[in-house]
């Protein structure tokens, strides 16, 4: 179509557009404004959705605008569509005519209908277009423009009205609509007159402080921060926030709101208003720096350092100082070795003490050290009083104690004994090599012997007395050697007195005996030590197997733990094997097996064959659990061929544990058993004598006892209840009153023996009180009433005590009658125990395996036991028990002589050999707050104050008697 | 015999292909496999089992048994974990053995000798220098047993050298207490020889003869289909244990006939068919020694009467006959009671041996004070002498030994004097003391070492001292024999293995056995 033909149409369309554009835009903008206002308001309740809505609306409007523009543009370029617009609305006939006219021509202006003149067609189109009602159409469009304009103003007005009516909300909403990551970009003020108070945790006992809600403050961890203020707008969800955590403000009922914040770490706090998932913060913030409760610091004197137990002869003093910023609760000594840990409380504190100093003595023979074969880390650890995050431990540097290889101490003892044996063999050789002296040289001959015997005595004492690697030669074995050495010394003395051929032979014989006994001790002890060391190593082998098992685990940390466990075990086994080899033939045998099996384990590990390594370790453990010789036969000699059966052989030269040694250990055990069994026998007799009386008798006795109890209370009623001072007669009188009350209670509860005991104590107190009164003169008792009261009470109590004593005697007599049969049996049993005591003393005497004091005590015990047996058989329970107690004391004394000598020597050698705590040699500050002794005294006093059963009470008596002795 | 076994194996294979999957049929397969396994036809058993149903408990059990025989104890342990397999007759016991074997042989050193067909597992690798002697023993013993018993040997012959009686017990199922009581040093079971290392005993033992003894058990088991009674097993083993090598002075020591006679006369003899499951499980080592003497004497008596070839004939009969009684009757014309009566009549005619008393065998134990004091004195003097020698006081040691009265002229009871004279440890100790004190005379040394017949038991160090004495006199062949005896008794004693006293120059210092012995040894006088 030629543009010239349609130009009027396009001009017309352009006029319409210019008329409508302004009003339409205004209307669109007004709509947009309204939607923003509405979205802002909606954003306060659902910011997320409103933001989406807003974005969608804007996008829609934009799309609509663009689409409208594009459509309009196309319409304006299409003559047909221009004709179909307002023209068609105003004059449909002419518009249709124009459309038809246009249809005569194609796009390039050619005639589309055959046979029609192009000229005429063009002319027709021009005329038809010209006839169109252009002005009317313009007017129609202008009318529409006015309507659009009016609508726009209405919408704009609406938006303005809403916005003005909810200005704050609309602003908040707009802020919320612009939020990023849940936080609106523009801060607002939410609180007025805000104030902050800081309350430190209670356990710190610190004061409350206050601050503004701005700036920065340092507060102890666990403090409670309270923020209080007046909200600037009501109905806002105000929160105290650190950006990730929030605490809501609560109305306190007085127009202010309050929020509390627990400080667990450093944070910046702000007040925010929460709208759904978006907050609008306040501009100001408070930066809180949390000051944590530090772990205690512990200083261990001398740590870090390494200590080899083999080189130590004294106990290890552990001196520490623990400090904490707020307070200490406990201080522990911690011992760790491989997978084992043991904690011992050194000090318990009140949680407010900030510093604690103290000490501990770690014994060389401490059970933990004795059981540990891997290095032991000794640390002191202190626990603070932090209840918030839980108590924290602070640890000192470690003192690493390297225990001797398994059996090292025992091997050193054996080495010492071997050296002693060697020296004695030299002496024997020297004595065997000497010819009997000429008569003139007898004196010097004997003098040489004395000198040699002196040197040997010294060597024996030195070998036996020393502790080596925490081990000592057992007391029974020392006794045997010492007895043999004494025999030799006596023989030498006899030789000095008379240097005869027989006397010289006796000296040689006694030297041979000493050598043989020492040798027997070496061999017997080697067997025992090899067995015990092997059993200890079996635990290590078990540990190795478990470690290798863990190494096969899927979990890396378990694997790593298993690996280090296995390595430590292998190291201990290797060292232990080397030591075992020094423990005689059995030790050599077992040591070789350890080496062999460790080699198997290592071979398998080298091949990454952990299951077989574990199996080999288990094989070793099984072998060491049963530390018998690799080969044994209960026959008459070594194997003679075939698969089994010893026959013939070279006689009794197998390395069996020599009988003397086993006998010595056996006798020590026999004595221990005898002491225990005799104590049981004593308890049995006591039980027989305390068989309850018949119901009738009991009822009668109790009735009478109640009357006497009343009399006792009456007797002491005039005495003062309260003491006037520890050194005054009133203190004694009030104590007597208390004791009399105990006596009365004893009587009422049918415990006449206890009542008697309390009565005697009461009388003792009264006697002391009377002495004080008499020595105090007129000033202490101006009226003389005190003395009279005391004397009278004493007299009355004495009478009641006599009655109680009579009751005790009578009850014993009746019990003895009732238990006559049992007592006779007890007498016979006591006789058997006496026989055992006799045999034991006899054996000890013959084999010299018990010290002389022990033998004498056992003899005395036997005599007392016989007396007791006789008395019991004739039904004299009191006498029988008295003698039984005596026998028991003697037996315990014998046991003490056997074992106590060792302890005494241990103390003498300053190695703190006894187990448990022992005093430090150096200046160690023991914590003053340590309550151990007080606690012990308190328990003892409590225990003594309470009634006890017969056997325990008897043990107390014996203990007390022992103390007195 | 070989042809028959092949035919059986072929039959078993054919049967296996035809085996229906029914339970009864599977049990039959398992039983056949078991027979093949105990006869050590392991290849045939494997072929049979490979096609059988592995889910059937009895089949699984036999597969485990086969694994144990093939020394694959881990595989056996895995199979025997199944509860249904453990519930079968031998299941629990076999499981215990498999686990014990698995544990005792974990990561041990194994030597394969393909040429000789011998596999040896060394629990303690330091025993490996014994390998050449062990191999020589096995080869010679196998040849001898093939000749004497008519058996062939499946290869390899498996030997496990364990370090202690506990491992021996774990490997074989012999109760540990029994092993300790009877002093068991080796067991032939599960198709292998499990033997205790000579280092496990204080002065070794006749380990090479013991290997021959145990191989005989394997051979008898194979030849008889594991049906030979205990008396035959042990009697033949004792008979054969010294035949692999030239005879030696202590071959019939203590004399079996004399010891058996003592046992019969004192009523301590066992009925031959009532020896129990194993001599190793008798109540004491002395009882075991008496039982060995009985069965040894009996088998010798049987062979004397039945002549050469009697043993293969008897073993074949036992394998083929329904029971041993019938087999014995078929092979010899008499049953065991008749043979026992004949043997007892024979043994009653045999002279006693007074030397048994000096060995402390065959007579009532003397517990009177004087005797005990004498024994104690001997023990003490010997020990003092040892200690004096170890401290370099050899002259004083000789003096102590002189007081024992062991030497001619001393005033002690004839019996004790005999015992002391024959005691090889006293002779050896005296020899060492004299050597160190340089106070030895040729006459005295001759007296101590010349005649092994004067010594009542073999003792490695005595043989070694004898060898040195012979070498000193230029008698190298004699010395070689003595040292060979020393090593056969106590291979890991340095004096035996190195042919010299510790601390002196050894002609064999580079020999692996000498090196091993020096690495192992305690001082001969140590505690």
pLDDT digits over A792-812, tens only? Answer: 999 999 999 999 888 888 877
Farthest-apart Cα atoms in chain A, separation? 185
Closest CA to A194 of A226, A151, A152: A226
Q: Do A781 and A745 meet the contact criterion of CB atoms below 8 Å apart?
A: no
Asked if the Cβ–Cβ distance from B106 to A584 is below 8 Å, we say no
Asked if the Cβ–Cβ distance from B457 to A649 is below 8 Å, we say yes
Residue A918 has pLDDT above 50, yes or no: no
Residue A821 has pLDDT above 50, yes or no: yes
Distance separating alpha carbons of residues A850 and A895, to the nearest angstrom: 10
Asked if the Cβ–Cβ distance from B166 to A626 is below 8 Å, we say yes
Closest CA to A483 of A472, A475, A471: A475
Query: How confident is the model over B44-61, as pLDDT tens digits?
Result: 999 999 988 888 999 999
Instruction: List the single range of A230-239, A307-316, A543-552, A561-570 with lowest mean pLDDT.
Output: A307-316
Task: Please report the pLDDT score of residue B7 as a whole number.
Answer: 59
Best-predicted range by mean pLDDT (A57-61, A133-137, A396-400, A415-419): A415-419
Confidence of residue B23 (pLDDT cuts 50, 70, 90): low
**Beta strand pairing status for A355-362 and A328-337?**
unpaired
Asked if the Cβ–Cβ distance from B395 to A646 is below 8 Å, we say no
Task: Please report the pLDDT score of residue B13 as a whole number.
Answer: 54
Distance separating alpha carbons of residues A684 and B9, to the nearest angstrom: 77
Confidence of residue A908 (pLDDT cuts 50, 70, 90): very low
Asked if the Cβ–Cβ distance from A523 to B423 is below 8 Å, we say no
Task: Please report the pLDDT score of residue B34 as a whole number.
Answer: 93
CB atoms within 10 A of CB B42: 16
Q: Which of B126, B166, B375 sits opposite A623 (nearest CB)?
A: B166
Task: Please report the pLDDT score of residue A902 as a whole number.
Answer: 45
Bigger pLDDT: A94 vs B302: B302
User: What is the overall mean pLDDT for chain B?
Assistant: 87
Percent of chain B with pLDDT over 90: 56
Interface residue B459 vs chain A (CB under 8 A):
yes
Report the SS3 class of residue A385.
coil
Give contacts of B359 with chain A, Cβ < 8 Å.
636-637, 647-649
Residue A645 has pLDDT above 90, yes or no: no
What are the two backbone dihedrals, phi and then psi, of residue A842, each rounded to the nearest 5 degrees? -65, -45
Task: Please report the pLDDT score of residue B43 as a whole number.
Answer: 93
Closest CA to A296 of A365, A246, A349, A343: A349
Task: Please report the pLDDT score of residue A649 as a whole number.
Answer: 33
Task: Please report the pLDDT score of residue A669 as a whole number.
Answer: 77
Query: How confident is the model over A440-486, as pLDDT tens digits?
Result: 888 888 888 899 999 999 999 999 887 787 788 888 788 888 888 98
Task: Please report the pLDDT score of residue B132 as a whole number.
Answer: 96
Distance of CA A315 to the CA centre of its chain: 25
Confidence of residue A429 (pLDDT cuts 50, 70, 90): very high
Residue B207 has pLDDT above 90, yes or no: yes
Best-predicted range by mean pLDDT (A158-167, A772-781, B70-79): B70-79
Interface residue B107 vs chain A (CB under 8 A):
yes
Asked if the Cβ–Cβ distance from B388 to A425 is below 8 Å, we say yes
Could you say which residues from 201 to 240 on chain B have a Cβ atom under 8 Å away from some Cβ of chain A? 201-206, 209-210, 213-214, 234, 237-238
Question: How close B29 gets to chain A, by Cα (Å)?
Answer: 33
Interface residue B517 vs chain A (CB under 8 A):
no
List the structure tokens of A922. Answer: 């150096």
From residue A725, alpha-carbon distances to A728, A731, A741, A938, B22 in Å are 5, 6, 21, 22, 103
Question: How close A547 gets to chain B, by Cα (Å)?
Answer: 17
Task: Please report the pLDDT score of residue A75 as a whole number.
Answer: 78
List the structure tokens of B112. Answer: 């394969």
Residue A910 has pLDDT above 50, yes or no: no
Interface residue B177 vs chain A (CB under 8 A):
no
Asked if the Cβ–Cβ distance from B279 to A632 is below 8 Å, we say no
- Three-state secondary structure of A116-158: CCHHHHHHHHHHHHHHCCHHHHHHHHHHHHHHHHHHHHHHHHH
Chain A residue with Cα closest to B187: A643
Best-predicted range by mean pLDDT (A132-141, A625-634, A937-946, B105-114): B105-114
Per-position DSSP letters for A919-944, written without gaps between them: --SS--PPPTT--HHHHHHHHHHHHH
Percent of chain B with pLDDT over 70: 91
Residue A768 has pLDDT above 70, yes or no: yes
Give contacts of B382 with chain A, Cβ < 8 Å.
653
Across B227-241, average pLDDT: 91
Asked if the Cβ–Cβ distance from A638 to B292 is below 8 Å, we say no
Across A908-912, average pLDDT: 36
Across B407-418, average pLDDT: 64
Tell the burial category of B22 from Cβ atoms under 10 Å away from its Cβ (0-12, 13-18, 19+).
Answer: exposed
Question: How close B20 gets to chain A, by Cα (Å)?
Answer: 39
Asked if the Cβ–Cβ distance from A433 to B396 is below 8 Å, we say yes
Question: How close B30 gets to chain A, by Cα (Å)?
Answer: 30
The tally of CA atoms less than 13 A away on the side-chain side of residue A195 is 5
Task: Please report the pLDDT score of residue A402 as a whole number.
Answer: 82
User: What is the overall mean pLDDT for chain A?
Assistant: 81
Confidence of residue B4 (pLDDT cuts 50, 70, 90): low
List the structure tokens of A301. Answer: 């004197």
Bigger pLDDT: A370 vs B498: B498
Query: How confident is the model over A324-357, as pLDDT tens digits?
Result: 988 888 999 999 886 678 999 888 887 878 888 8
Q: Do B420 and B426 meet the contact criterion of CB atoms below 8 Å apart?
A: yes
Query: How confident is the model over B145-154, as pLDDT tens digits?
Result: 999 999 999 9
Asked if the Cβ–Cβ distance from A631 to B185 is below 8 Å, we say yes
Task: Please report the pLDDT score of residue A427 as a whole number.
Answer: 95
Q: Do A83 and A20 meet the contact criterion of CB atoms below 8 Å apart?
A: no
Confidence of residue A725 (pLDDT cuts 50, 70, 90): low
Task: Please report the pLDDT score of residue A87 as a whole number.
Answer: 77
Give contacts of B517 with chain A, Cβ < 8 Å.
none
Across A530-549, average pLDDT: 90
* Helix, strand, coil % over all residues of chain B, rounded to 5: 65, 5, 30
Task: Please report the pLDDT score of residue B521 as a whole number.
Answer: 64
Residue A613 has pLDDT above 50, yes or no: yes
Across B186-209, average pLDDT: 93
Interface residue B359 vs chain A (CB under 8 A):
yes
Asked if the Cβ–Cβ distance from A645 to B181 is below 8 Å, we say no
Residue A15 has pLDDT above 60, yes or no: yes
- Determine the straight-line distance between the first and last CA of chain A, rounded to whole angstroms: 145
Bigger pLDDT: B166 vs A667: B166
Distance separating alpha carbons of residues A394 and A292, to the nearest angstrom: 14
Best-predicted range by mean pLDDT (A160-164, A597-601, B238-242, B514-518): A597-601
Percent of chain A with pLDDT over 70: 87
Interacting residues of B438 by C-beta distance below 8 A, sequence separation 6+: none
Task: Please report the pLDDT score of residue A702 as a whole number.
Answer: 82
Q: Which of B166, B180, B522 sits opposite A622 (nearest CB)?
A: B166
Asked if the Cβ–Cβ distance from B104 to A522 is below 8 Å, we say no
Task: Please report the pLDDT score of residue B232 as a whole number.
Answer: 92
Query: How confident is the model over A205-220, as pLDDT tens digits?
Result: 788 888 888 888 998 8
Give contacts of A619 with chain B, Cβ < 8 Å.
103-104, 106, 167, 170
Distance separating alpha carbons of residues A603 and A506, to the nearest angstrom: 59
Residue A383 has pLDDT above 70, yes or no: yes
Confidence of residue B28 (pLDDT cuts 50, 70, 90): confident
Bigger pLDDT: A855 vs B361: A855
Question: How close B375 gets to chain A, by Cα (Å)?
Answer: 8
Best-predicted range by mean pLDDT (A236-240, A773-777, B209-213, B272-276): B209-213
Asked if the Cβ–Cβ distance from B201 to A639 is below 8 Å, we say yes
Task: Please report the pLDDT score of residue A337 as a whole number.
Answer: 81
Task: Please report the pLDDT score of residue A655 as a whole number.
Answer: 33
Across A714-737, average pLDDT: 78
Q: Which of B106, B200, B285 sits opposite A600 (nearest CB)?
A: B106
């Amino acid at each position: 179509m030629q543009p010239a033909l349609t130009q009027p149409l396009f001009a017309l369309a352009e006029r319409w557009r210019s008329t409508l554009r302004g009003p339409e835009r205004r209307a669109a903008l007004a709509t947009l404004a309204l939607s923003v206002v509405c979205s802002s308001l909606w954003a306060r309740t659902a910011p997320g959705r409103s933001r989406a809505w807003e974005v969608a609306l804007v996008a829609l409007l934009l799309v609509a605008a663009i689409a409208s523009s594009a459509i309009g543009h196309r319409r304006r370029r299409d003559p047909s569509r221009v004709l179909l617009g307002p023209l068609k609305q105003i004059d449909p006939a002419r518009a249709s005519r124009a459309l038809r006219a246009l249809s005569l021509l194609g796009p390039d202006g050619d005639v589309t209908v055959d046979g029609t003149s192009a000229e005429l067609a063009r002319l027709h189109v021009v005329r038809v277009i010209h006839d169109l009602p252009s002005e009317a159409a313009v007017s129609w469009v202008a009318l529409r423009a006015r309507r659009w304009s009016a609508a726009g103003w209405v919408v704009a007005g609406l938006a303005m009205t809403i916005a003005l009516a909810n200005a704050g909300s609309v602003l908040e909403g707009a802020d919320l609509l612009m939020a990023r990551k849940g936080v609106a970009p523009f801060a607002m003020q939410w609180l007025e007159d805000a104030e902050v108070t800081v309350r430190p945790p209670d356990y710190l006992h610190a004061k409350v402080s206050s601050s503004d809600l701005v700036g920065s403050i340092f507060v102890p961890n666990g403090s409670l921060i309270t923020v209080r203020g007046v909200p600037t707008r009501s109905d806002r969800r105000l929160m105290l926030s650190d950006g990730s955590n929030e605490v809501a403000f609560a109305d306190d009922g007085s127009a202010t709101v309050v929020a509390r914040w627990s400080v667990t770490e450093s944070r910046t706090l702000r007040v925010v208003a929460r709208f759904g998932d978006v907050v609008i913060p306040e501009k100001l913030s408070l930066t809180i720096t949390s000051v944590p409760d530090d772990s205690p610091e512990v200083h261990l004197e001398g740590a870090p350092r390494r200590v080899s137990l083999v080189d130590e002869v004294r106990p290890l003093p552990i001196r520490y100082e623990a400090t904490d910023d707020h307070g200490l609760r406990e201080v522990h000594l911690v011992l760790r070795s491989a997978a084992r840990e043991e904690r011992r409380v050194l000090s318990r504190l009140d949680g407010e003490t900030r510093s604690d100093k103290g000490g501990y003595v770690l014994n060389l023979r401490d059970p933990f050290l004795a059981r540990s074969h891997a290095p032991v880390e000794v640390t002191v650890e202190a626990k603070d009083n932090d209840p918030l995050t839980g108590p924290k431990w602070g640890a000192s540097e470690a003192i690493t104690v390297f225990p001797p290889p398994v059996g090292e101490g025992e091997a050193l003892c054996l080495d010492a004994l071997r050296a002693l044996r060697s020296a004695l063999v030299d002496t024997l050789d020297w004595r065997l090599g000497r010819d009997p002296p000429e008569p003139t040289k007898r004196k010097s001959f004997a003098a040489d012997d004395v000198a040699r015997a002196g040197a040997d005595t010294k060597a024996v004492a030195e070998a036996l007395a020393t502790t080596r690697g925490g081990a000592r030669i057992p007391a029974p074995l020392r006794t045997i050697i010492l007895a043999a050495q004494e025999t030799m010394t006596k023989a030498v003395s006899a030789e000095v007195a008379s240097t005869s051929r027989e006397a010289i032979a006796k000296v040689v014989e006694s030297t041979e005996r000493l050598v043989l006994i020492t040798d027997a001790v070496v061999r017997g002890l080697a067997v025992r030590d090899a067995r015990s060391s092997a059993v200890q190593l079996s635990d290590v082998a078990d540990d190795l197997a478990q470690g290798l098992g863990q190494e096969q685990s899927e979990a890396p940390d378990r694997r790593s733990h298993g690996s280090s466990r296995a390595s430590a075990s292998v190291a201990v086994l290797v060292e232990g094997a080397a030591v075992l080899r020094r423990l005689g033939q059995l030790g050599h045998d077992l040591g070789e097996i350890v080496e062999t099996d460790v080699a198997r384990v290592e071979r398998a590990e080298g091949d990454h064959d952990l299951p077989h390594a574990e199996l080999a370790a288990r094989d070793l453990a099984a072998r060491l659990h049963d530390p018998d010789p690799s080969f044994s036969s209960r026959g008459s000699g070594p194997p003679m061929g075939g698969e089994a059966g010893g026959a013939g052989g070279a006689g009794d030269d197998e390395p069996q544990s020599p009988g003397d040694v086993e006998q010595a250990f056996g006798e020590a055990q026999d004595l221990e058993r005898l002491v225990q069994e005799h104590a049981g026998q004593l308890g049995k007799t006591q039980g027989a004598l305390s068989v309850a009386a018949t119901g009738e008798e009991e009822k009668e006795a109790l009735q009478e006892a109640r009357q006497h109890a009343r009399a006792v209370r009456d007797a002491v009623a005039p005495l003062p209840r309260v003491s006037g001072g520890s050194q005054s007669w009133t203190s004694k009188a009030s104590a007597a009153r208390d004791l009399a009350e105990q006596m009365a209670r004893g009587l009422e509860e049918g415990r006449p023996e206890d009542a008697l005991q309390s009565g005697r104590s009461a009388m003792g107190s009264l006697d002391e009180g009377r002495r004080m009164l008499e020595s105090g003169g007129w000033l202490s008792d101006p009226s003389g009433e005190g003395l009279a009261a005391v004397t009278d009470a004493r007299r009355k109590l004495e009478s009641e005590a006599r009655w109680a004593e009579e009751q005790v005697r009578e009850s014993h007599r009746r019990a003895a009658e009732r238990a006559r049969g049992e007592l006779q049996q007890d007498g016979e049993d006591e006789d058997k125990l006496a026989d055992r005591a006799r045999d034991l003393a006899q054996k000890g005497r013959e084999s010299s395996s018990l010290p002389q004091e022990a033998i004498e005590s056992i003899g005395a015990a036997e005599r007392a036991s016989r007396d007791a047996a006789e008395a019991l058989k004739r039904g004299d329970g009191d006498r029988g028990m008295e003698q039984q107690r005596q026998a028991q004391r003697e037996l315990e004394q014998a046991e003490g002589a056997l074992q106590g000598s060792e302890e005494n020597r241990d103390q003498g050698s300053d190695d703190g050999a006894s187990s448990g705590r022992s005093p430090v040699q150096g200046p160690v500050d023991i914590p003053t707050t340590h309550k151990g002794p007080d606690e012990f005294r308190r328990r003892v006093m409590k225990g003594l104050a309470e009634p006890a059963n017969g056997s325990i009470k008897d043990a107390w008596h014996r203990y007390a008697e022992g103390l007195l002795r | 015999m070989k042809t028959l076994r092949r035919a059986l194996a072929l039959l078993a294979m054919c049967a296996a292909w035809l085996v229906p999957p029914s339970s009864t049929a599977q049990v039959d397969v398992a039983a056949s496999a078991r027979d093949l396994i105990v006869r050590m036809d392991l290849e045939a058993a494997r072929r049979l089992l490979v096609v059988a149903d592995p889910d059937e408990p009895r089949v699984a059990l036999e597969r485990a048994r086969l694994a144990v025989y093939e020394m694959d104890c881990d595989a056996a342990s895995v199979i025997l974990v199944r509860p249904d397999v453990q519930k079968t007759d031998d299941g629990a016991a076999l499981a215990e053995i498999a686990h014990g074997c698995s544990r005792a042989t974990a990561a041990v050193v194994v030597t394969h000798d393909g040429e000789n067909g011998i596999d040896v597992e060394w629990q303690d690798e330091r025993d490996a220098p014994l390998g050449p002697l062990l191999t020589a023993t096995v080869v010679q013993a196998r040849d001898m047993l093939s000749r004497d018993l008519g058996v062939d040997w499946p290869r390899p012959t498996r030997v496990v050298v364990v370090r202690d009686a506990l491992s021996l017990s774990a490997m074989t199922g012999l109760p540990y207490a029994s092993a300790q009581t009877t002093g068991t040093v080796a067991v032939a079971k599960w198709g292998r020889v499990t033997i205790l290392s000579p280092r496990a005993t204080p002065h070794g033992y006749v380990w090479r003869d013991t290997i021959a003894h145990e191989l005989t058990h394997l051979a008898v088991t194979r030849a008889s289909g594991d049906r030979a009674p205990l008396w035959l097993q042990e009697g033949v083993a004792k008979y054969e244990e010294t035949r692999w090598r030239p005879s030696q002075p202590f071959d019939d020591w203590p004399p079996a006939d004399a010891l058996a006679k003592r046992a019969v006369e004192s009523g301590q003899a066992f009925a031959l068919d009532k020896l129990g499951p194993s001599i190793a499980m008798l109540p004491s080592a002395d009882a075991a020694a008496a039982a060995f003497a009985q069965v040894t004497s009996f088998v010798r008596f049987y062979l004397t009467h039945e002549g050469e070839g009697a043993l293969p004939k008897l073993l074949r009969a036992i394998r083929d006959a329904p029971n041993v009684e019938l087999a014995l009757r078929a092979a010899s014309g008499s049953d065991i009671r008749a043979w026992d009566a004949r043997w007892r009549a024979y043994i009653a005619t045999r002279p006693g041996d007074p030397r048994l008393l000096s060995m402390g065998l065959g007579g009532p134990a003397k517990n009177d004070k004087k005797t005990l004091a004498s024994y104690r004195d001997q023990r003490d003097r010997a020990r003092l002498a040892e200690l004096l020698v170890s401290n370099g006081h050899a002259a004083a040691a000789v003096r102590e030994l002189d007081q024992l009265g062991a030497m001619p002229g001393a005033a002690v009871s004839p019996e004790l004097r005999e015992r002391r004279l024959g005691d090889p440890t006293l002779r050896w100790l005296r020899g060492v003391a004299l050597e160190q004190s340089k106070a030895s005379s040729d006459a005295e040394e001759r007296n101590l070492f010349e005649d092994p017949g004067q010594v009542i038991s073999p003792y490695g160090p005595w043989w070694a001292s004898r060898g040195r004495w012979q070498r000193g006199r230029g008698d190298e062949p004699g010395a070689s024999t003595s040292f060979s005896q020393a090593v056969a008794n106590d291979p890991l004693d340095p004096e035996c293995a190195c042919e010299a006293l510790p601390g002196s120059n050894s002609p064999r210092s580079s020999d692996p056995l000498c090196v091993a012995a020096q690495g192992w040894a305690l001082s001969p006088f140590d505690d």
